[in-house]
């Protein structure tokens, strides 16, 4: 296979500091590494009675060496990422055994298409698993699962507010009559897909309304985002912007901003309305301008203890993947700046500082799940691995002259 070596000469544009990540990024070599780690994970999931396909790798804490798995239930928002990792690994390796494993883990999520919505995470759950599965296999059963789940997700849409209710469970305990979290932007992709693949065209309108209201209400004047927007269900007006997983209501939670960058890039892809392209750049620029030297953010841009605060490799991986796509929608100069930024991020994640290597079977170290809850601090987390391998495949396609999305 042709080796793709990207020199660090491409690292220009956003860094005003002296330090830059060292090393080179060999995309195929890094994808080989991901394939090896995937085999290690599968090996450790095997028991005497075989693999329990309903148990999904979720995290490996800083002081642990093995995956903690969680049952694929409607409450486990991360259950689609491991099947998604397997689909991406299959896409790269073309290994039929990996495809079989991807199919079996994916099938454990079918119930989501047949049960009422628990919350907004249905896109993460079903589009990362079934979405990639359908993209690669065109299995009609997968298509129906996605279409049915998209309809289920749309039941959470409130037309008075104009957004999806992200967390029905938080309405009463928090007195958040209608709440929308930035993460919800990622789940719009499944609605767009369903609307153009035989589903209800109304799903497109839901996604656009959600993106518009979020753009209007869930960002500060400097384009940093609130994690949670709380709305009045009678007037549809914003009551307040607050945080749930960030440091403070007024700060930029790294992964929240990453979801915004990725989300508005997808909304532009699906609508081709230039206002979203402009907005995607604005939410990106404020994120890139405030990054530390190695381009992997602290878990919150105002986290206590900076420069010793934990990093969030998951946010870095999400942004790298998004910027590779965003770069393709822009003229050469601007597009190249974003592509170079993505390569710079991936080069940093590719280093010994962030790769798990032999120490554990995950791809990446150093993500933060939920600091205020004291959970998954400085851990390997499955969604970091998912967006990392997605970004690597996107870069590989671009380097080989193919479309970024496959």
120 counts as binding ligand GLY under rule CB under 6 A: no
> Which of residues 143, 213, 255, 337 is near ligand GLY by CB under 6 A?
255
Q: How far apart are CA 132 and CA 155, in angstroms?
A: 23
Cβ 218 to ligand GLY shortest distance, Å: 15
Among 119, 183, 378, 385, the active-site one is: 183
Measured between alpha carbons, how far apart are the two ends of the chain, in Å?
A: 18
**Tokens for 302?**
């105002």
Site pattern 346..385 for ligand GLY (x: CB under 6 A): -----------------------x----------------
Nearer to ligand GLY, 77 or 134 (CB): 77
Using CB under 6 A, count the residues that bind ligand GLY.
5
295 counts as binding ligand GLY under rule CB under 6 A: no
* Burial status of residue 374 (CB atoms within 10 A of its CB: 0-12, 13-18, 19 or more): exposed
Cβ atoms 196, 204 nearer than 8 A: yes
Instruction: Tell which positions 195-234 bind ligand GLY, by CB under 6 A.
Output: none
> Which of residues 101, 103, 119, 183 is near ligand GLY by CB under 6 A?
183
Q: How far apart are CA 47 and CA 39, in angstroms?
A: 15
The answer to whether residue 183 is catalytic is yes
> Which of residues 38, 245, 367, 380 is near ligand GLY by CB under 6 A?
245
Cβ 369 to ligand GLY shortest distance, Å: 6
Cβ 375 to ligand GLY shortest distance, Å: 10
Nearer to ligand GLY, 80 or 369 (CB): 369
Nearer to ligand GLY, 186 or 365 (CB): 186
The answer to whether residue 52 is catalytic is no
State how far the alpha carbon of 316 is from the alpha carbons of 66, 100, 128, 205, 236, in Å. Answer: 23, 30, 18, 30, 33
Q: In what order do the strands lie in the sheet with 228-231?
A: 178-181, 228-231, 238-242
3-state secondary structure of 47: strand
Instruction: Tell which positions 309-348 bind ligand GLY, by CB under 6 A.
Output: none
Sequence-distant (6+) residues with CB within 8 A of 391 are 317, 320, 321, 324, 342, 346
Among 119, 121, 294, 385, the active-site one is: 121
58 counts as binding ligand GLY under rule CB under 6 A: no
Q: How far apart are CA 194 and CA 153, in angstroms?
A: 11
Sequence-distant (6+) residues with CB within 8 A of 104 are 51, 53
The residues of the shown chain that bind ligand GLY, judged by CB under 6 A, are 77, 183, 245, 255, 369
Report the catalytic residues: 121, 183
């Amino acid at each position: 296979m042709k080796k793709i070596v990207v020199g660090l000469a491409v690292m220009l544009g956003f860094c005003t500091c002296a330090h830059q990540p060292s090393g080179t990024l060999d995309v195929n070599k890094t994808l080989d590494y991901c394939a090896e780690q995937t085999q290690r994970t599968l090996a450790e999931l095997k028991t005497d009675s075989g693999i329990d396909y309903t148990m999904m790798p979720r995290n490996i804490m800083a002081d642990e060496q093995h995956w903690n798995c969680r049952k694929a239930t409607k409450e486990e928002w991360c259950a689609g990422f491991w099947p998604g990792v397997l689909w991406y690994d299959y896409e790269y390796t073309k290994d039929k055994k990996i495809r079989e494993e991807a199919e079996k883990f994916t099938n454990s999520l079918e119930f989501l298409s047949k049960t009422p919505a628990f919350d907004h995470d249905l896109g993460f759950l079903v589009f990362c698993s079934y979405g990639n599965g359908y993209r690669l296999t065109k299995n009609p059963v997968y298509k129906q699962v996605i279409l049915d789940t998209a309809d289920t997700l749309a039941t959470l849409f409130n037309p008075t507010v104009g957004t999806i209710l992200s967390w029905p469970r938080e309405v009463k305990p928090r007195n958040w009559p209608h709440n929308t979290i930035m993460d919800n932007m990622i789940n719009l992709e499944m609605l767009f897909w369903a609307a153009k693949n035989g589903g209800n065209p109304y799903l497109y309108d839901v996604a656009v309304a959600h993106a518009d209201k979020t753009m209007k209400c869930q960002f500060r004047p400097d384009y940093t985002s609130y994690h949670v927007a709380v709305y009045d269900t009678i007037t549809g007006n914003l009551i307040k912007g607050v945080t749930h997983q960030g440091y403070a209501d007024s700060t930029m939670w790294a992964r929240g901003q990453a979801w915004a960058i990725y989300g508005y890039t997808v909304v532009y892809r699906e609508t081709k309305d230039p206002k979203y392209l402009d907005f995607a750049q604005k939410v990106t620029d404020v994120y890139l301008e405030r990054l530390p030297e190695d381009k992997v953010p602290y878990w919150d841009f105002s986290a206590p203890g900076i420069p010793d605060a934990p990093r969030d490799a998951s946010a870095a991986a999400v942004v790298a993947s998004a910027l590779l796509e965003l770069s393709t929608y822009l003229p050469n100069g601007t597009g190249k700046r974003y592509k170079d930024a993505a390569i710079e991020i991936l080069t940093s994640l590719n280093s010994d500082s962030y790769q798990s290597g032999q120490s554990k079977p995950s791809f990446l170290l150093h993500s933060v799940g939920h600091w205020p809850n004291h959970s998954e601090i400085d851990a390997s987390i499955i969604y970091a691995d998912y967006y990392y391998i997605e970004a690597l495949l996107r870069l590989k396609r671009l380097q080989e002259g193919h479309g970024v999305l496959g």
